[in-house]
Structure 1
Amino acid sequence: MKRPFYGWWIVAATFVTFGLSTGVPYYNMPLFYDYFMRDLNASRADITLGFPLAAVLTLWVGPTVLHRFSPRKLILVGTGLTCLALVGFGRMATSLMLYYAFWVVYTVGYFISGPPPHQIIVSHWFRLKRGTAMGILYVGVGVLGSAGTFLVKYLTDKYDYHAALTVLGVMVLLAWPIVLLLIKDKPSDIGQNPDGASVAPAETKIASRTYKELIESYPFWLLLIGSLCSIGSIGAVNFHMKLVFRDQGFVDDKQVLAAASTATILILWSSIGGRLAVGYLADKFPKKWVMFTSYFVTAATIPLLLRVTPEHDILLYTFAILFGFGMGADYMLIPLMAADRFGVNSVARAMAVILPVNTIGQTWFPYLVSHLHTWLGGYTGAMTVVLVVALLGAVAILMLPKKQPEAA
């Protein structure tokens, strides 16, 4: 009797491990920035420098480590490092240098247990339904990330932020039994084929494009610029949202934490809808238009953020829901678009360039916004710059040429 296709169990398992390794720490770290500023006696720029500095120092990790080891092993090691970093953030006393050191530990953990190994696993298990499977995978980030936000608010209110960070660190380690007991790197590991097919799919005859060919291709540059602008803008909003609220009238610690926690939860919940919808639409409609719409929606929410005040809390909900929906699709569309435009065999090389560049934008643009806040006298001018950059990203995707019909 033929064994049922195990791929959807892989999606369910990676749904959880991806949420734990990425959603829990990434989307909740900004909730601690104002506490770090106070306890370390540091500026806004000092605190937001941690992630971008670590991103530069760890760019070597992906190209030198990811292709050498099993994705399962990478997730185990990476979540261990993430746990160490989160617990360290809660125990670092008043040392800014130690703060930066823990960001390096966290970023190594992020690279080797976050998007890359999970994307690799799902890509091995699915071909025809890769967009749908990838969309479900990314929902885990929103679900587990929002669960972490509930914990942060509860533990910070009941105890302090140190306890909240420690619990988040331990929570990440829940990925270990799932990886060890349920996840398999490839369908061939248990005698199956992608999508549950009766025979293994024939390998494509199209050779991978060289780095030179990609760099000389202007659609590649449009995808690179478009994704850089959009991911950088999303990073700026996520990193600065709580500080924006504080500047706009949420002055009491509990009040600003409640506003930021509510927004973060709504963003993560609405991102679930964005990921599921776009995963389905990307399998049905031209990816260029799906990607442009997602990028434009994300950009259009930034003016709403600037109008959120304690007197206009309805705008908090409107901003968070719309921003989350657009944000949810942005990250997962990049590898899908790379495969669509350059061929599945060129995805590895395309993403080897795009992912590091996007990481720089994701981390350094929020740091630049910290300085823009000072230079322009507040977040109105700084977030206007973010809006312009986000719109440039949408325009770059709109400029992608029409895809040529595939040969029969």
Structure 2
Amino acid sequence: MLCDVTQPTETSAEAPAPSSPPGPRVHRAWFVAAVAFVTIIGAAAFRSLPGLLIDPLNGEFGWSRGTIGLAVSVNLALYGLTAPFAAALMDRFGIRKVVATALTVIAAGSGLTVFMTSSWQLILYWGLLVGLGSGSMALAFAATVTNRWFTERRGLVTGILTAASASGQLIFLPLLSWLVEEHDWRPASVTVSLAALAVVPFVWLLLRDHPADVGQAPYGGVYAEKPAPVTGAARRAVTVLIKAARTGPFWLLAGTFAICGASTNGLVQTHFVPAAHDHGMPITAAASLLAVIGVFDVVGTIASGWFTDRFEARRLLAVYYALRGVSLLFLPMLLAPSIHPPMIFFIVFYGLDWVATVPPTIALCREHYGDDSAIVFGWVLASHQVGAAVVAFAGGVARDVFGSYDVVWYASGALCAAAALMALVIRRRPRPAV
């Protein structure tokens, strides 16, 4: 009887262990990242339009550049201030519902602008509605997708999703500038509205909130159950802000990113086209140069994500801001009625650096704030957009007062030098002892 009992044990020990069924050859996380990429591209159309509207609205309604810049600044500020609350709402209701609602609000705001007759309506439709919708589609969305679906390759994926916004600018800016030049600004505004609506079905049908929804682990990680919805989204966003505000790295990241927004969205994206037009360059030519910035932005941002996986993030930030500041100091000397080689060099150089700051900034947020990093980055992004809003308004006022944008270019170059120094001050978080 003893032999009868032990024999099966020996047989089972010799039998090979059952193998788990092979997983899909391409991890589902890459499909989610692809949907997020397309979503951000579709939403990027609204970011291509403000700089093209300044001269047409000034000509049709007689509104000053400062007034139009105020509406753009409200849009940019809300784009940033909404982001941390949107990140918390994604934890409560899911990514898919928040993003689909945001795209619908963008479409409504852009569509209503074709009926406006007063400047306060521009502030309401483009500033408030599009600002709130776009804030929910901000880079906090990219950070949330990356944190949930990826454990490895986070820097690379962050760079790719950040580059999606530039890709949208590349796709829409030439089209929108042609519409404004040939058919007035209203068809361009309608195009933005339709582009946002077209993405909603892709989000609703293909985007998933968490790897556990499809029974998978994050890419490069281990399986974990989907966390329960987090209630009190607004309270959590404010609580995370209060906690982060007690630390030095938060203020340094917020300060550098405010200068990043001032020197990109607030300055170049909003005022480059009218500034070039002041020097006799056609609007379509100036818009084409911005589109070229979008081309090289894709390359620079993806490369920055690759660098962030391999090099120290704070040093990368210092290099990016220093190079950007130097390039802005030369821009007033390059503006001319026609496109020439030095201007093309500036566009390529500036495009490579446009949002290369995003992957290392997100990496530093993740390093210092862990699970709260997406919401913390949302607040850091809010500072980015506040900086952009201030310069979008101040740039228009400076143009009205001085008749030129030169003082704004020089001031932004000096600010970028300060941001480079601030980035170097950020201390590395000590690794816990094993």
TM-score over 0.5 for the pair:
yes
Kept after mapping to 2: 8 A contact 1:230/1:389: no
The partner residue of 1:386 within 386, 403, 412 is 412
Report the CA distance between 1:401 and its aligned residue: 2.9
Structure 2 partner of 1:119? 143
Partner Cα distance (2:199, 2:40) in 1: 8
Q: 1:361 to 1:371 in 2, by over 3 A?
A: same
Structure 2 partner of 1:231? 261
Kept after mapping to 2: 8 A contact 1:230/1:394: no
Report the CA distance between 1:352 and its aligned residue: 4.9
**Residues 304-323 of structure 1 mapped to structure 2, 5 A cutoff:** 304-306=330-332, 307-311=334-338, 313-323=340-350
Q: Compare 320-329 and 281-290 and name the one that shifted more.
A: 320-329
Q: Alignment partner of 1:310: what SS?
A: coil
Partner Cα distance (1:311, 1:121) in 2: 42
- In percent, how many aligned pairs have the same letter? 20
**Residues 317-336 of structure 1 mapped to structure 2, 5 A cutoff:** 317-336=344-363
Amino acid at match of 1:281: F
5+ long unaligned stretches in structure 2: 1-20, 228-238
Report the CA distance between 1:273 and its aligned residue: 0.7
Structure 2 partner of 1:281? 307
Partner Cα distance (2:80, 2:411) in 1: 26
Structure 2 partner of 1:362? 388
Q: Alignment partner of 1:185: what SS?
A: coil
Q: Compare 182-191 and 370-379 and name the one that shifted more.
A: 370-379
The partner residue of 2:39 within 17, 22, 30 is 17
The partner residue of 1:167 within 191, 196, 203 is 191
The partner residue of 1:51 within 59, 67, 72 is 72
Kept after mapping to 1: 8 A contact 2:110/2:189: yes
Report the CA distance between 1:376 and its aligned residue: 4.3
1:31 corresponds to 2:61: no
Q: Alignment partner of 1:345: what SS?
A: helix
Report the CA distance between 1:156 and its aligned residue: 3.2
Q: 1:211 to 1:46 in 2, by over 3 A?
A: closer
Amino acid at match of 1:226: T
TM-score normalised to structure 1 length = 0.89
Q: Deviations over 1:263-284 (max 9, x none)?
A: 1111100000111100111001
Q: Deviations over 1:211-262 (max 9, x none)?
A: 5663343333222211111222212121110121122233xxxx2x122211
Report the CA distance between 1:316 and its aligned residue: 2.7
Question: Which is higher, the Rg of structure 1 or of structure 2?
Answer: 2
Structure 2 partner of 1:3? 23
1:271 corresponds to 2:297: yes
Q: 1:64 to 1:276 in 2, by over 3 A?
A: closer
Q: Compare 112-121 and 164-173 and name the one that shifted more.
A: 112-121
TM-score normalised to structure 2 length = 0.84
1:95 corresponds to 2:118: yes
Partner Cα distance (2:270, 2:219) in 1: 38
Structure 1 partner of 2:94? 70
Structure 2 partner of 1:179? 203
5+ long unaligned stretches in structure 1: 204-208
Kept after mapping to 2: 8 A contact 1:10/1:122: no
Report the CA distance between 1:48 and its aligned residue: 0.6
Structure 1 partner of 2:12? none
Q: Alignment partner of 2:302: what SS?
A: helix
Partner Cα distance (2:79, 2:385) in 1: 11
Amino acid at match of 2:408: A
Kept after mapping to 2: 8 A contact 1:308/1:315: no
